[in-house]
Amino acid sequence: MKQFFATLLALSYFYSAVAQTSLPKSTWRAALQRENHDLPFGLEITPKTNGKYEVVVINGAERLPMDEAYMEGDSLHIPMLIFDSDLVAKVSGNQMKGSWKKNRNGKWVSVLPFKAEKGNVYWFAKTPQATTKNISGKYATYFHRPERKDSSFAVGILDQKGSKLAGTFLTPTGDYRYLAGDIVGDSLFMSCYDGSHAFLFRAAILPNGQIKGGLWSGISGYQPFTATLDPSAALPPPTALTYLKPGYETLDFSFPDTKGNVVSLKDDRYKGKVVVLQISGTWCPNCMDETRFMVPWYKKNASRGVEIIGLMFERSGDLKVSGPKIDFMGKRFGVPYPLLLAGVVDANAGKALPALNNISGYPTTIFIDKKGRVREIHTGFSGPGTGKYYDEFIEDFNALINKLLSE
């Protein structure tokens, strides 16, 4: 009888622990913290039949799946393995508290404090705020770099509905993805978290309509910025940043896939076909956005005589280190075309393709015609968070492919 009660007590503790560390389907208002500022986003958590969890990050209109989450003791782990990133938080009732971790040199380190509260997702204002401001429109934006005594230019796209705000900033090498936030009084607040990047915009809306404030990014990044309403604001042509050096018409390379098989444009698979080179990296969220477009597009169009090759520039040039990350990305997005380790993402990355003047940004997309000639090089990618600019990219992409196929 004594043994029976001991067993019963043990089972009681076991089921109590399970109850304490399991989560129902729920929505949470989450936030990273930078210098006492909240960087909010939403989390939707759904239990799976294997005892783990499906987690979706909510950035305004975006619903971004994370990798399979799991409980360890009383803490929830929400990984984004492709970015060497992990949210780890102790769960206590309707609250979570922990940190965002990044992997550095093979070690996990705490980066920013993290908290979450179960309930409705809101950004900076729990209830809509009355406002007389309307800042919808296109903005000429300058991110100032005091340490370099210069600025970088971007085009801000803001869409205000009531006091709610959505938008992004387009740069020559990509966009800031889905930003969401609020107008509170005479101030603007927006944020975004994607497992790799964490952005927080806080700015004053001046009486003359100019927006002036700061961008907090990642662990310690900070840039003041100014934005001025300008319907004609535009970036330089994306085809002007990376180009072939004089005397070159073609590219030549031989890079390994993750199994060590060397792939070249001279392979039979690519002869007489239109080829798209996707210069990318597993660390790059904009590259992931482009891959989400490329994969279904390729499956639909490969039979027309088009091939895609992913040229991956990683943190490490060691295939044993970068190969698993490339494989993970390929599996995550169902990539049906080769992904090759082309080099290391650094200032010398362009040397891997010596016919190019440089590699200015990730992703960069190179279009090659049936005769092997480079016909266009497009730096950056306007993702789905940019609205009409994403639609224009798709339209231009298809028009160029159709032209090359018709030749």
Q: The CATH number of the domain where 48 resides is what?
A: 2.40.128.120
pLDDT of residue 105: 67
Query: Which residue among 118, 146, 161 closes a domain?
Result: 118
69 has pLDDT over 90: yes
pLDDT of residue 102: 84
Any idea which of 17-31, 194-208, 316-330 has the lowest mean pLDDT? Answer: 17-31
For the full predicted model, state whether its pTM sits above 0.85: yes
- DSSP annotation of 245 reads P
Residue 85 lies in a domain: yes
Mean pLDDT to the nearest integer, 75-83: 90
**φ/ψ (deg, to 5) at 9:** -65, -40
Any idea which of 81-90, 181-190, 288-297 has the lowest mean pLDDT? Answer: 81-90
Q: Let me know whether 27 and 54 are in one domain.
A: yes
12 has pLDDT over 80: no
DSSP states of 12-61 as a string?
HHHHHHHHHH---SEEEEEEEEETTEEEEEEEEEEE-TTS-EEEEEEETT
Q: Let me know whether 93 and 178 are in one domain.
A: no
281 has pLDDT over 90: yes
* Whether residue 363 has a cis bond before it, omega within 30° of 0: yes
Mean pLDDT to the nearest integer, 336-350: 92
User: pLDDT over 70 for what percent of the chain?
Assistant: 94
Q: C-alpha angle with apex 160: 154 to 165, nearest 5 degrees?
A: 75
Query: Which residue among 90, 118, 146 closes a domain?
Result: 118
Q: Let me know whether 49 and 184 are in one domain.
A: no
Q: Let me know whether 73 and 159 are in one domain.
A: no
Residue 339 lies in a domain: yes
Residue 337 lies in a domain: yes
CATH code, 351? 3.40.30.10
Nearest Cα neighbor of 241 from 129, 366, 142, 141 is 366
Mean pLDDT to the nearest integer, 280-302: 95
The pLDDT confidence band at residue 273, using thresholds 50, 70 and 90, is very high
The pLDDT confidence band at residue 42, using thresholds 50, 70 and 90, is very high
Q: Let me know whether 259 and 334 are in one domain.
A: yes
Total number of domains constituting the chain: 3
Residue 123 lies in a domain: no
- Cβ atoms < 10 Å from Cβ of 93: 8
Q: Let me know whether 286 and 386 are in one domain.
A: yes
25 has pLDDT over 60: yes
Mean pLDDT to the nearest integer, 267-282: 96
CA 327 to chain centre: 18
Mean pLDDT to the nearest integer, 237-265: 94
pLDDT of residue 219: 85
If you average pLDDT over every residue of the chain, what do you get? 90
Residue 243 lies in a domain: no
User: pLDDT over 90 for what percent of the chain?
Assistant: 77
Q: Let me know whether 194 and 83 are in one domain.
A: no
Residue 239 lies in a domain: no
- Tens of pLDDT, residues 116-162: 999 999 999 988 888 888 999 999 999 998 777 778 999 999 999 99
Any idea which of 3-17, 23-37, 74-88, 135-149 has the lowest mean pLDDT? Answer: 3-17
Nearest Cα neighbor of 287 from 191, 175, 185 is 175
156 touches 147 (CB < 8 A):
no
Relative orientation angle of helices 319-333 and 285-301, to the nearest 10 degrees: 60
342 has pLDDT over 80: yes
203 has pLDDT over 90: yes
The domain of 164 spans 137-229
Any idea which of 42-51, 76-85, 190-199 has the lowest mean pLDDT? Answer: 76-85
List strand residue ranges (DSSP E) for 67-171, in order.
70-72, 75-80, 85-92, 95-104, 107-118, 137-145, 150-161, 164-171
Q: Let me know whether 402 and 261 are in one domain.
A: yes
pLDDT of residue 238: 92
pLDDT of residue 106: 73
DSSP states of 327-383 as a string?
HHHHHHHT--S-EEEEEESSTTGGGGSTTBS---SSSEEEEE-TTS-EEEEEES---
pLDDT of residue 97: 96
Query: Which residue among 165, 194, 229 closes a domain?
Result: 229
Q: Let me know whether 81 and 188 are in one domain.
A: no
Residue 274 lies in a domain: yes
Q: Let me know whether 10 and 62 are in one domain.
A: yes
29 has pLDDT over 50: yes
Query: In sequence order, what are the beta bridge partners of 378?
Result: 365
Q: Let me know whether 220 and 266 are in one domain.
A: no
Residue 195 lies in a domain: yes
Q: Let me know whether 104 and 173 are in one domain.
A: no
If one compares 307 and 105, the residue with the highest pLDDT of the two is 307
